[in-house]
Amino acid sequence: MLANVIEAAGIATVSLMSVLGQAQRAKAPRALYCDFPLGRPLGKPRDAEYQHLVLSAALALLDTPKEQTPILVTFPETIEDQGSEAMVCPMPLGFDAHLPPAFNEALGLRVAYQRAFARTGRTSFGKALTLDTITIAIQGFLDIIADADPEQAGLPASPALCAADLRAYYEEAALALADHVPAARQAEAWFFMHTEVGQILLYAQAVLKRSGAPQRIWFYLAPMTRALSSS
């Protein structure tokens, strides 16, 4: 929709679209639909040659005369979402075996997270938590599982923001530990299927949902596809 506004001002645009129905409804002047997993508009991370193919296909649409717009072209290759399969990630030995398992696990990942951040200079972690408040958030979710009121659980911020930060911390640490670039959503699958904290978030979500808590409190603790079947 913004592309139409920009074009009305005389500036040509190209849009990369990841959802076909949305692309068809939005009718951007020049759009390239890529059947790739959400969050990967250029297809393959760390594959510059493939990303240039996608960009070249998109930028070629700039040659389309305005009177022939809107135009929607489909990129010829599909990349499947593999979120049902967890990435392979060797976990560190841990931080202190005397700590509760979730604390030991989370603190053991700190060096890997810091290594990932140092390499890229980018992170999605830090919206609500710091490295020093990760265990406070974990304890807050454990208290919720034990039927504590979310507002009395001691979380540093809203449950949704804390959950998003925990997931970002884990997934970014995992990328530093893995020897490959995982397929789309495989880091998500690893977090919720194979880590202590991922399981805690799923159980906290189920407890809050059963308790009748407002949807805004529990809905964003985990993707809909990861919710516990018993919830």
Q: How confident is the model at residue 87 (pLDDT cuts 50, 70, 90)?
A: confident
Give the pLDDT score at 37: 83
- Kindly list the domain boundaries of the chain, sorted by start residue: 2-74, 101-226
Judged by average pLDDT, the poorest of 14-18, 43-47, 122-126 is: 43-47
Dihedral sign computed on CA atoms, order 206, 211, 212, 216: negative
Query: How far does Cα 40 stand from its chain's mean position?
Result: 10
Write out pLDDT tens, residues 132-190: 999 999 999 999 999 999 988 999 999 999 999 999 999 999 999 987 777 778 889 99
Mark out the alpha helices in 27-71 (DSSP H runs): 48-59
Give the pLDDT score at 190: 93
Give the pLDDT score at 57: 96
Check if the beta carbon of residue 103 is closer than 8 Å to that of residue 109.
no
63-68 mean pLDDT: 91
Give the pLDDT score at 229: 56
Check if the beta carbon of residue 178 is closer than 8 Å to that of residue 88.
yes
**Percent helix, strand, coil in the chain (nearest 5)?**
50, 5, 45
Q: 59-88 burial string, b = 16+ CB within 10 Å, else e?
A: eebeebeeeebbebbebeeebeeebeebbe
Q: How confident is the model at residue 83 (pLDDT cuts 50, 70, 90)?
A: low
For the beta sheet containing 30-33, the strands, ordered from the edge strand earlier in sequence to the opposite edge, are 15-17, 30-33, 71-74
Which is more confident, 56 or 178? 56
Write out pLDDT tens, residues 1-24: 888 899 889 899 999 999 999 889
**Tokens 């530093």 sit on residue:** 176
Give the span between the Cα atoms of 34 and 47, in whole angstroms: 16
Q: How confident is the model at residue 231 (pLDDT cuts 50, 70, 90)?
A: very low
Give the pLDDT score at 180: 76
